[in-house]
Amino acid sequence: MSASGTPGGMVRLEGVERSYGPLRAVDGLSLTVERGEVMALLGPSGCGKTTTLRLIAGFERPDSGEISVSGETVAAPGRFVPPEKRRIGMVFQDYALFPHVNVAKNVAYGLRANGKKARGRVEEVLSLARLDGLGERMPHELSGGQQQRVALARALAPEPEVLLLDEPFSNLDAALRVKVRREMREILAEAGATTVFVTHDQEEALSLADRVAVMFDGRAAQVGDPESLYHAPATREVAAFVGEANFLPASVGEGVARCALGEFPAEGLAEGEGEVMVRPEDLSLVEGDGGSPATVLGREFFGYGQFVKVRLADGEVATCRASGRLRLGRGDRVSVAVSGRAAVFASPSARAGSTLPE
Ligand SMILES: Nc1ncnc2c1ncn2[C@@H]1O[C@H](COP(=O)(O)OP(=O)(O)OP(=O)(O)O)[C@@H](O)[C@H]1O
């Protein structure tokens, strides 16, 4: 990686737009990725994540706006640096390995150094990607996780300034994903690579990225570290997309929001209808009368915990996360209290949101 300073970020998008016919796939996107940072682009299908990655790589040209990589403008009105000149490594969703050459040759592809130096770098990067001793294997002789690491090693071999990963775990089964995710995190940290990866899986984004950009309709709705996105979502849409959430109807007035679980500060919100958002793990089932009365509707047990669905006094349904040891059945009377954070959002017509501290 280059040691030069990069004021303004390692990757910078400023008001970038890209349309396909009448469809605005990327709609005025501004985003900065710092050196060495792992940034996730998270959002539902069709929100423009892959198009953003392709714009950074140079496989697409923006209709307007500017993109810079390591301080150099690579796309702007009247300027376009082609992909091979951007010092960017890309790992495609299907890995795109060359099937007829072995792992070492796959990794050596793209290295412009002389044979000896290239061999040294191939070994170095195979070791970085936990592929020691597998250089002679053919791609079809590898597991899915190993194939992914070959693609990663190939992208890292020429020491790119920036690494781009498109849905890096989508080809792996659920059991393998968590393991591969951990390995990937370690490899990226060791490589010190500035990384942008695309995913529609919130758990993947929160667990792997230093910061996450949540995208809807070609725009970044919120960019932040995983904790603040999860606990202090800027909008209802972000709250709903980034994890499980209860939304309870509330009436807002005099700086508070009143819902079936009590009153919550709602400074700055206009009087009228609103919603209180509480994550299931911030709702506790408490003994006696310590909370609001509720009736158990059902539960979903997953070993180390369970989701308990309850009906509150006003008829609203909420989900609480409880210890897996708690034995509850349908119809049981319980008491529910907010034990963590809550956020209050205005009704969709008013749209401004306010997030409350713990
Ligand atoms: N080459 C193209 N021609 C026409 N429309 C396109 C093209 N590429 C993307 N689109 C459209 O642009 C929008 C954004 O696509 P994009 O692939 O960036 O979304 P995404 O967030 O990556 O979605 P997914 O998670 O499904 O891959 C979609 O509506 C898509 O159909």
Q: Which tokens go with 322?
A: 């409880």
The helix (run of H) or strand (run of E) holding residue 31 is strand 23-33
| Ligand 1 probe mutation, 18, 27, 29, 49, most atoms within 8 A of CB | 49
Give residue for tokens 């800027």: 234
Q: Whose CA is nearest to atom 16 of ligand 1?
A: 48
Q: Whose CA is nearest to atom 25 of ligand 1?
A: 45
Of 103, 61, 95, nearest to 80 (Cα)? 61
Pick one of 1.20.1250.20, 3.90.950.20, 1.10.3720.10, 3.40.50.300 as the CATH number of 11-232: 3.40.50.300
pLDDT, position 4: 43
CA 48 to ligand 1: nearest atom:
18
Question: Residue 197 and residue 38: Cα distance in Å, rounded?
Answer: 8
SS3 track for 167-203: CCCCCCCHHHHHHHHHHHHHHHHHHCCEEEEEECCHH
Query: Is the CB of residue 279 less than 8 Å from the CB of residue 341?
Result: yes
| 48 Cα to the center of ligand 1, angstroms | 6
pLDDT, position 8: 66
CA 53 to ligand 1: nearest atom:
18
Question: Residue 30 and residue 173: Cα distance in Å, rounded?
Answer: 33
| 234 Cα to the center of ligand 1, angstroms | 25
pTM beyond 0.95? no
Q: What is the ipTM of this complex?
A: 0.95
CATH of domain 244-345: 2.40.50.140
| 21 Cα to the center of ligand 1, angstroms | 12
- What is the tens place of the pLDDT at every residue in 76-94? 999 999 998 999 999 988 8
Q: Whose CA is nearest to atom 30 of ligand 1?
A: 46
Q: Whose CA is nearest to atom 6 of ligand 1?
A: 20
CA 215 to ligand 1: nearest atom:
21
| Ligand 1 probe mutation, 17, 29, 51, 170, most atoms within 8 A of CB | 51
Give residue for tokens 């008013």: 350
Query: Is the CB of residue 99 less than 8 Å from the CB of residue 154?
Result: no
Residues with Cβ < 8 Å from 75, sequence gap 6 or more?
Answer: 55, 58, 61, 62, 65, 66, 67, 81
pLDDT, position 3: 40
pLDDT, position 7: 59
Q: Is 89 in a helix, a strand, or coil?
A: strand
Which residues line the pocket of ligand 1, CB cutoff 6 A? 20, 23, 25, 43, 45-51, 200
Query: Is the CB of residue 342 less than 8 Å from the CB of residue 282?
Result: yes
Q: Tell the burial category of 30 from Cβ atoms under 10 Å away from its Cβ (0-12, 13-18, 19+).
A: middle
Query: Is the CB of residue 211 less than 8 Å from the CB of residue 225?
Result: yes
Question: Residue 16 and residue 192: Cα distance in Å, rounded?
Answer: 27
Estimate the share of the chain in helix, then strand, then coil, as percent rounded to the nearest 5: 25, 35, 40
pLDDT, position 356: 43
| 62 Cα to the center of ligand 1, angstroms | 14
Residue 71: left if φ>0, alpha if ψ -120 to 50, beta else—which one? left
Query: Is the CB of residue 60 less than 8 Å from the CB of residue 54?
Result: yes
Question: Low-confidence residues of the chain, pLDDT below 70?
Answer: 1-8, 110, 112-117, 287-288, 348-358
Q: Spell out the domain ranges in the chain.
A: 11-232, 244-345
Question: Residue 89 and residue 83: Cα distance in Å, rounded?
Answer: 10
CA 51 to ligand 1: nearest atom:
18
| 52 Cα to the center of ligand 1, angstroms | 10
Give residue for tokens 């370690």: 186
| 46 Cα to the center of ligand 1, angstroms | 5
